[in-house]
A and B are shown apart, each in its own frame.
Chain A
Amino acid sequence: MSVTEYRVLAGPEGYLPPAAASMGVALPEEGEALVEGKIVPEKEAMRKIAEKLLTAKNPVFFPGPLLLWAWKEGVAEKAKAVKDLAEAAGAKIIPMPDYRPKYPMINPAIEINPNHPNLTIWHNKIDACVFIGVHCHYANVALKIIRGGTDCYTIALCGEMGHEDAMISLRDVDLPKIKKVTEMVKEMKKEGLK
């Protein structure tokens, strides 16, 4: 067994990177988050997200079906908050409307598909991305493919327990938490970070 601590860093790590969970990366407890495989207080991870978004050349949000479709009460409000966050960070938005493996018909300029997310990242030269509203199993697949084949920095804003395979992962992300990250982005911009 390796004694080296596994770090979840931007790739390309290789064709088949290991699942971070299999390398000993555990999910955070409530109030905590993951930064590059290490458990940290949630606030620290939020600051890191704001920093990464503001310093990236081409940050992009990838909202998934849970956010793109107004399928239950509260989604529209959350969607608006995510749009505000993307605007504050100067990030583009590329949607993941569903999970059909539409290869090779996908247009990587305007959509992302979890089965080959690397195409969208390569095509648009994305160096930091944010997953939100993507069902856990598809987020896990996509995050691993991105880490394996690209140098993109991945951030997962997860409504459940978080994602080990993202470089930064928040858990239990709800409307107040999205707004909090937006505030941090605005504050850091005022402080001169961009």
Chain B
Amino acid sequence: MNKSLFKISPGFEDIMPAEYRELVEHGPYEKGFGVSDLGTFKELIEEHPLCAGCGLALSLRMILASLPKPEDTIIVGSTGCSSIAFPQVALHNIHSLFGNQNALASGLKRALKLRFPDKIKDVVVIAGDGATADIGLDMVMQSWFRRENITTIMLDNEAYANTGGQESGMSPQGTILNMAPTGKKFPKISLPEIAREAGCAYAAAVSPAHPKRLEKAVRRAILLAREIGPTYIQVFSPCPTNYKFKPHETIARIKQREKDGTFSIKEYISPEAQEWLAQIEEVKK
């Protein structure tokens, strides 16, 4: 989308709701903003109905602020907590059937390549751990095997959080939730490693406790998906509602998990992607 298309018809400025006027005047389109600019521009997420202290909402806010080209980004989501927030996001976003997000994104990216061969259109999947690692794992893996040029971002809150609290494949072993009273019997799925082995050019695990690191991962993943192949980011987004901690403790919770070794930042870059990134760095110098 060209920003010049994003203007209100003359005479209708006064009747447009304020958030649309602000997006036109102070939005991030074609500005190259990042997470350090949060608070200085009109963000792509206006309000959201997610719980207080939701790690997923914080992660989503940072991911949206990190997009390299928001005006040409299409997000594909799936059922879960994030799907409740997406109607408030001022970007093209598509809600897919539960688990079908990577199949939809693959087709969308292929169609966009044909329709706009000379333009960059970033297709980014943003879905929860249930949609990515459980219900949609088949579609996720197939998009990686087939080397689709899309980025997959998992918002990992380690549970099915908006259906009362069931364990997901991403819940750590032993986790007790409202609807998993006897504790989870098998370990958390190692999806970054699976992504690496399945053909992703880039795979990372990050969290909103380190915003610049998260931003770097998002930008690398999207740029490499354009040039090399599929990329994957797992964003640890703790859930105060189901894991029963206070809303203001979300970041502390991530740091505690880092300390006790049950969460760590990871980054895997394929040799081809590494070479491409090195060339970019060289050009920058």
Contacts and interface: CB of A to CB of B under 8 A. Distances in A.
B9 A67 contact: yes
Interface string B133-174: 000000000000000000000000000000000000000000
Contacts of A111: 17
Contacts, number: 58
* Chain B interface, DSSP helix/strand/loop, else mixed: loop
Contacts of B88: 100, 102, 105
Nearest to B93: A100
Contacts of A107: 17
Interface in B153-205: none
* Chain A interface, DSSP helix/strand/loop, else mixed: loop
B8 A70 contact: yes
Given A100-B88, A102-B87, A102-B88, A93 B15 contact: yes
Nearest to A83: B11
Contacts of A104: 49
A105 B10 contact: no
Interface string A51-76: 00000000000010001111110011
A110 B12 CA distance: 13
B42 to A, nearest CB: 14
Contacts of A97: 16-17, 20
Interface in B1-46: 5-12, 15-17, 20, 46
B11 A68 contact: no
Contacts of A79: 9-12
A100 B90 CA distance: 9
A105 B47 contact: yes
B12 A68 contact: yes
A126 B8 CA distance: 25
A75 B15 contact: no
A17 interface: no
Interface core residue of B46, B47, B87, B89 (most chain A CB under 10 Å):
B87
A95 B87 contact: no
A175 to B, nearest CB: 13
- Give the size range of A's interface with the partner: 20 to 34
Contact of A63 (B6, B7, B12, B17): B12
Contacts of B20: 97
A110 B17 contact: yes
Contacts of B17: 95, 97, 107, 110-111
A72 B87 CA distance: 26
A75 B12 CA distance: 12
Interface in A83-129: 83, 93-95, 97, 100-105, 107, 110-111
B87 A68 contact: no
A158 B10 CA distance: 21
Interface core residue of B5, B11, B46, B49 (most chain A CB under 10 Å):
B11
B14 to A, nearest CB: 9
Nearest to B19: A97
A164 to B, nearest CB: 28
A70 B9 contact: yes
Nearest to A78: B9
Contacts of B11: 79-80, 83
Contacts of A68: 8-9, 12, 16
A69 B10 contact: no
Contacts of B15: 93-95, 110
A68 B17 CA distance: 12
8 contacts: A68-B9, A68-B12, A75-B9, A80-B10, A95-B15, A100-B89, A103-B87, A105-B49
Given A95-B16, A95-B17, 9 more contacts: A68-B8, A68-B12, A69-B6, A76-B10, A79-B10, A104-B49, A105-B49, A105-B88, A110-B15
Nearest 7 interchain pairs by C-beta: A79-B9, A70-B9, A100-B87, A71-B5, A101-B87, A83-B11, A97-B20
Interface of B: 5-12, 15-17, 20, 46-47, 49, 87-89
